[in-house]
Amino acid sequence: MNAPLSSELIKLPPTESNRLREIPYNYTSFSDKEIVIRFLGHDIWDIILELRSERKTGRSAKMLFEVLGDLWVVKRNPYLQDDLLENKKRLNMLLKAMRHRVQSIEDRSFGNMKAAQLTKAARTAIDEFELEFQQVKKLRKKVFSSLKKYTKKHNIQFDGLARVSHVTDATDWRVELPFVVVNPDKSPKLH
């Protein structure tokens, strides 16, 4: 159960230190700032802060953070990655929804140059996200083709379970997962 917010906290002006997390699906130690910078860059974080100080965000910020939440949850979850790699229709629906939100932000910007920079960065992040799926699919085929010469096919694992099981860091900072897990043909004999 969530504890109620203090009425004093609600009255405080939004600052980096007292703002609640706004990016959905962010159950990690990464702050909204770190996620924005990771996908969109330092300059865009500064633009978001400027737009906030001018009171020119709100609904648009919410839509941007929804896009970033979608990017973040997939980036962090190899099971979702596997699902989207296998289901092109589902991936396309996600991309379409993210692009629709960015277009809505642009439609509401009324020519604001800062908002234009923000939407351009968001579109680039979505395009890179889509491209990464294409690259991963090709690279998996290439790696599998190379490795099957040296071991049995079932020893070459790209699935989420194998990848999560072989992350070396047990904290929630483990953002980077192995690309492939290769198991030996035989277990070593213990003496």
In a domain, 122, yes or no: yes
Query: Amino acid identity of 53?
Result: S
**What CA–CA distance (Å, rounded) separates 145 from 153?**
9
Confidence of residue 95 (pLDDT cuts 50, 70, 90): very high
Q: What is the mean pLDDT of residues 64-93?
A: 93
Residue pLDDT, tens place only, 132-189: 999 999 999 999 999 998 889 999 999 988 888 887 665 655 557 888 999 887 766 6
> Quick one: what percent of the chain has pLDDT higher than 90?
52
In a domain, 2, yes or no: no
Q: Which domain holds residue 109?
A: 20-182
In a domain, 12, yes or no: no
**Given its phi and psi angles, is residue 2 left (phi above 0), alpha (psi -120 to 50 degrees) or beta?**
beta
List all residues 6 or more positions away from 140 whose beta carbon is below 8 Å from its beta carbon. Answer: 158, 180
In a domain, 110, yes or no: yes
Tell how strand 156-157 and strand 181-182 pair up. antiparallel
pTM of the complete model: 0.77
**What CA–CA distance (Å, rounded) separates 122 from 68?**
8
Q: What is the mean pLDDT of residues 10-19?
A: 47
Query: Amino acid identity of 57?
Result: T
Which tops the pLDDT comparison, 81 or 19? 81
> Which of 96, 134, 112, 9 lies closest to 57 in space, CA to CA?
112
In a domain, 178, yes or no: yes
In a domain, 11, yes or no: no
Q: Structural domain tally of the chain?
A: 1
